[in-house]
Amino acid sequence: MTYLRKTLTAAMIIATSALTSAISVNAAEPTATMTLSVTNIDPDQGQIMVALFDSQAAYQSETPTRDSVVKVDSPSVTIDFHDLPLGDYAFKLFHDDNGNGELDTDFMGIPSESYYFSNDASDPFSAPEWAEAKFILRSGKTRHVVDLSD
């Protein structure tokens, strides 16, 4: 009887372990890659600074989920964000052409460096709202083309 009990217990442990492994594999959330193709960068110097947000709260508080700084040495750059959970996102970017790490503005607070919000969202007096800038990231690969020409 002890041998049978030990065999059944071992079989139960193996089955439970296999089931747990199968659940872990199936529980992995699908992800996506988002590529930003930034074109018509003029002058081709400085850096492109990108902030990616995954919620309205993060967008409003300027707390990016991911960010990236890419050196500019040609009129276009490509920026990839890998392994993003599917869902709503928005991004803000600007061409920091003098490389000081800040969006420069004139005496009235109007940006003097090129900038862009996802969905080409705009507001004449402030940054656009989350609802205007957000997009749905679906599985696979998504490409956004950002044209910084005036």
C-alpha torsion angle, residues 89, 94, 100, 101 (rounded to 10): 0
| Predicted confidence (pLDDT) per residue in 53-86, tens digit | 999 999 999 999 999 999 999 999 999 999 999 9
Correct CATH for 31-147 of 3.40.50, 1.10.132, 2.40.128, 2.60.40 = 2.60.40
pLDDT value at residue 12: 53
- What pLDDT shows up at residue 19? 46
Using CB atoms within 10 Å of the CB of residue 47, give its burial: 0 to 12 exposed, 13 to 18 middle, 19+ buried: buried
| pLDDT band per the 50, 70, 90 thresholds, residue 28 | confident
pLDDT, tens digit, 9 for 90 and up, residues 36-48: 999 999 999 999 9
- Extents of the domains making up the chain: 31-147
The rounded distance, in Å, linking the Cα atoms of 34 and 79 is: 8
Among 79, 82, 83, which residue's Cα sits nearest to residue 94?
79
